[in-house]
Structures are given as C-alpha cells and as structure tokens.
Amino acid sequence: MKFGIIGLGRFGYQLALSLAEQGCEVLAIDKDEDLVDSISDKVTQAICLDVEEEETLVSIGFNDVDTAIVATGEAFAQSVFITALLKKHLEIPRVIARATNHMHENILKLVGADKVVVLERDMGIKLAHKLSIPIIDLVHVTNSFTVTQIKAPEKFVGKKIDSLKLIKNYHVSCIAVKKGDEPILVGPDYVILERDILLIAGDKKDIHALVRI
C-alpha cells in the first residue's frame, strides 16, 4: 500500500516513520527543506514542496497513492484546500486529515475527507479508555468485533477453558494464550494460569463486560 503524507510536523513526521518501519511505501512532502532532508533516507521518497496546484502533485506521482494524509492541521485554510484538492480533483481513494478543533473537523468532512483526526481529543479518549478498562491491546477486526489481549481474570485462574463456558456465559471465545511474545493455541482442557494473557475474540461490548468481572 502506498501512502502520501503532506506536512512533516510532529504528527506527520512520526506517522511517516512508523508507516515506513512497517514496510509501507511512503511519499512525504513538506516545504521545510531541513525536515525533508532529515527523513529522506527513512521513507520511500521525500520531496520539498509547497503544495498549491493539482499539476504539481501529479508531476511527482502523488495521484497514485492509496491513502493521503493531510497533516498540516495548524494551517487551517491550507489543510482544507489540500483536502479538497486531493479528494475532488486527484480522486485519492482515501483522504485522512488532521483538524485542530470541531469546526475545522466539520469543514474538512464537508470538502471530502474520509476521516478526520483531532489529535488532542482522540488521544484523550484513547487514554481514558485504557485507564478505565484493563485491556492490554485491542485490534478491531470490524467496527464491533475485536480480538483483544487481557490479563486472565482472577476468577478464571486454575480453571479449564471449557469449564468457563465463555461463549454461553460471556459471548466471547478464547482463541489462544500468550506466553512471552508468542501466542499459543490451547485446547478446551487448558488450565488458565495466574500470569496468562488471554487472546479473546468477540463483540467489543462483551469483552468490556468480561474484563470488569
């Protein structure tokens, strides 16, 4: 998958690095030459450019990206203009934009952004979620179905998985147990240990209910 990132502030820079580290093709753009130089050897391509026209983006192949991220959130008017340009003119399949407030978010959606990130708000919600629910990791398979790693609840310790009747009682399934860094498939006769990390699959609300028992 090919990603295009416009704006190499703290958010855009780290996003570009993380995507590249995961093996993604990343085209990074910023008008600051020093920022571009510092990331050029870490991403697929880094270009010093002040994005203003459709033809300029097409000339560097930006119209070929699968997902574009507009990370120039502080520049309100510029981020709105670039988002509209990418979605309406270049017809990028997926455009994600950074907003600084609720009004900015609404305008970005109106001009075509497929997803808008409000960093301070979203990070606050994410932190509150982690603090209130003892879930180690959460992977969303769909909007509601998740695969989650949780510490074995105290009442599960010393019991066989089959005896817990997870599907009947909690509407979830234990698909593996994590030992160290590796998940291990276990059968219904496996006895849960105190330090076990359980990989649980199910609806998000059911998993949240499980970890609160």
Q: What is the pLDDT of residue 205?
A: 85
Which amino acid belongs to residue 133? I
- The pair of structure tokens assigned to 167 is 């599907």
* Residue the block writes with tokens 């455009």: 95
Of 118, 64, 119, which is closest to residue 93 (Cα–Cα)?
A: 64
pLDDT digits (tens, 9 = 90+) for 30-55: 999 999 999 999 999 999 998 878 88
Q: Decide: 195 and 178 in contact? Cβ < 8 Å.
A: no
For the record, the structure tokens of 132 come out as 């209130």
94-99 and 115-118 beta bridge pairing: parallel
pTM above 0.85, yes or no: no
Is pLDDT above 90 for 81? Answer: yes
> Tell me, what DSSP letter sits at residue 197?
E
Ranges of beta strands (E only) in the chain are 2-6, 25-30, 45-48, 67-70, 94-99, 115-118, 135-140, 145-151, 172-179, 182-184, 197-203
Distance CA 197, CA 136 (A): 9
DSSP summary character for residue 22: T
Burial 20-42 (b: 16+ CB within 10 A, else e): beeebbbbbbbeeeebbeebeee
As a whole number, mean pLDDT of residues 168-182 equals: 89
- Mean pLDDT score of the chain, rounded to an integer? 89
The crossing angle, in degrees rounded to 10, of helices 76-84 and 102-110 is 20
Domains and CATH numbers, the chain: 2-123 (3.40.50.720), 133-211 (3.30.70.1450)
Q: State residue 63's pLDDT score.
A: 92
Cβ 33 vs Cβ 46: under 8 Å: no
- What pLDDT does residue 108 have? 96
Bridge partners, 174 (sequence order)? 200
pLDDT tens digit string along 117-140? 998 777 776 666 565 556 666 677
Are the C-beta atoms of residues 57 and 75 closer than 8 Å to each other?
no
Asked if pLDDT for residue 62 goes beyond 90, the answer is yes
| Tens of pLDDT, residues 179-201 | 877 889 999 999 999 889 999 99
